[in-house]
A and B are shown apart, each in its own frame.
Chain A
C-alpha cells in the first residue's frame, strides 16, 4: 500500500523538475525498481495512474526497468545473483551476503514536452 505514497513522491519530484527544466507535461517516466526494493510494480502502476490525475503527469506511461539483484559473498568473496533475500550463496552455501544491487527505487529519466 505504500506504493500510493511512492506515487505521490514521484509526482512531487516531477513537479519540481517541471519548474527546473521547464516542461508542461510528462509523457513517460522511466523508473528503476529493484526486485528487493519492496515495491510491487503492478500496485505502483495502479496507484500512479490514480495519483497522476489532474497533474502534469496525467496519463503518463511508466517504463519500469528491474535490475538483477546482486550480492557479495563474504565467505567465498564472489559476486552472485540473488533471486530471494533468503537465498544462500550458490557457491559456498553461506548467508554472509551483502547486497550490492536490487534495492533501487529511482526515477532515471523523463520524456516531457
Chain B
C-alpha cells in the first residue's frame, strides 16, 4: 500500500526508502493515469497529480455519521431519523426454512412436521408408523422437546435414526435447529423425515421448518372445541389425526363436531381417525404418507422413483 495516499490499488514502487532520504514514488491507480508523488522533507504532503483525480481520500459510499457528532453529540442536538425497512419479523427463520425446503427437495425427502398438545400420543403414533413403514422406505426422525432425550431413545429403539433437539427454554423448533439436525442425521435420499415438534399448539404454528406438511394430532381426550381455541395450528396443518380413538367410549368426544370445528378454521384439512394402540385407522395414515411421498418424489430421477414403486 502507498503509505502516503493510502491507496492499495496499482503497483507501488518505493524507489528510495529510509530515514533522511528523499521520498517519492510512482504508481498507477486502476482506471487512472499513473501519477507521481513528490515528497519533499519540508513539504511532506505536497502531491503533484497529473489528472484531476483526488478520489482516494474520500469514499462516497460511506455516509459518515459514525465519525461525526452522532456518537458524541450534545444533548438536545438529536439526529433522529426514520428508516423504512418493511421486514418480516420471521424473515430469518423463513430464509432458513426455504434453505431446508430446497435441501429436502434436492434429496427427495418428504418432511412432515408433527404438532400437537403435550400428551396427544405423537411419539407412540410415530413408533407404530415406523414399525409399519420400516421395511418399505427409509425414514429418519428429528425429536424436539424442552428437555430429555426420552423420545429420541424411543424412536431409536425401533431402529430408525433419530436425533433429539432440546430447545431448553424454547417452546418450538425453528428452521435453523432443524437445518443443523438434518445435517447431523444425513438421511438417505428419498427418506421420510418426521419432525416431532415440541408439544405446544401455539408457537410451532408460526415457525416454518421447511416441511412439506404440518400434521396436527388431536387426541380424543381433548375437547371438541380445541380447533377453535387454537385456530392458528389447525389453520396451518394439512392433516389432522384424531388419535387414541380406542378411548372414544370413555372420552365421549363428539367426533363429528370436532371435525366440523376444524373445518371452520381450515375447510380443506384432511382428517383421519387412528388408534395407535389397536391399530385401527393406521392403514389410512400409511396411505396418506405414501401419497405425500409420491408427491415429494415426483420429478426425481429413476432410482428414487423405483424405491417408491417398491414402497407403494
Contact = CB atoms under 8 A, between A and B. Distances in A.
Interface in B63-103: 63, 65-66, 70-71, 78-93
Given A2-B207, A24-B71, A110 B89 contact: no
Given A13-B92, A86-B231, A95-B263, A113 B81 contact: yes
Nearest to B78: A113
A12 B71 contact: no
A46 to B, nearest CB: 15
Contacts of B84: 108-109
B86 A107 contact: yes
Interface residues of A, number: 36
A17 B206 contact: no
Given A38-B232, A113-B79, A13 B207 contact: no
A10 B78 contact: no
Residues of B in contact with A, size category: 35 or more
Nearest to B207: A2
Contact of B264 (A31, A36, A88): A88
Mostly, the A contact residues are mixed
A113 B89 contact: no
Interface string A7-44: 00110110001000111100100010000111100000
Nearest to A14: B85
Contacts of B227: 86
A111 B263 contact: no
A11 to B, nearest CB: 11
Nearest to A3: B203
A95 B168 CA distance: 39
A17 B85 CA distance: 8
A38 B206 contact: yes
B265 interface: yes
B231 A85 contact: yes
Closest 5 CB pairs of A and B: A2-B203, A85-B231, A86-B264, A1-B171, A113-B80
Interface of A: 1-2, 4-6, 9-10, 12-13, 17, 21-24, 27, 31, 36-39, 84-86, 88, 95-97, 105-113
